A = this chain, B = another copy of it.
Amino acid sequence: MVTNNEMDQVFSALAHETRRTILDCLKHHPGLKVGELAHHFDVSRIAVMNHLAVLEGAGLVTSMREGRTRRLYMNLAPIQMIHDRWSDEYSGYWAGRMTSIKYAAEAAARKKEKGT
């Protein structure tokens, strides 16, 4: 089962570009250390650590101690679980790929109009 609280944590973890980029880093470089990871970003190491705490809280990042360092790993299982549940719950409501592309085009057009 996946609780509402867990969903809150997973979705808000994903709702920040830096955190999504962290996941992407860990995808490409599994086992990265905290400091190494922090180098990839403009914000302070502390800010990155805060983001890590959010990701770990959501279960999206796991880590293993190794001396005075910590090795970090991405874990997509929580997303997978939400995905599995939603595929069932909303099966039949998903638009086809073409429909969603059409929606994207319309959204882009709307944004363009706003700009004038």
Residues on A lying within 8 angstroms of B by beta carbon are 1-2, 4, 7-8, 11-12, 14-17, 20, 27, 59, 74-78, 80-81, 83-84, 90, 93-95, 97, 99-101, 103-104, 107
Contacts and interface: CB of A to CB of B under 8 A. Distances in A.
B17 A4 contact: yes
Nearest to A107: B59
A81 B59 contact: no
A15 B17 contact: no
B77 A100 contact: yes
Report copies per complex: 2
Given A77-B99, A95-B77, A1 B59 contact: no
Given A99-B77, A103-B75, A11 B8 contact: no
B1 A8 contact: no
Contacts of A59: 103, 107
Nearest to A87: B83
A116 B72 CA distance: 27
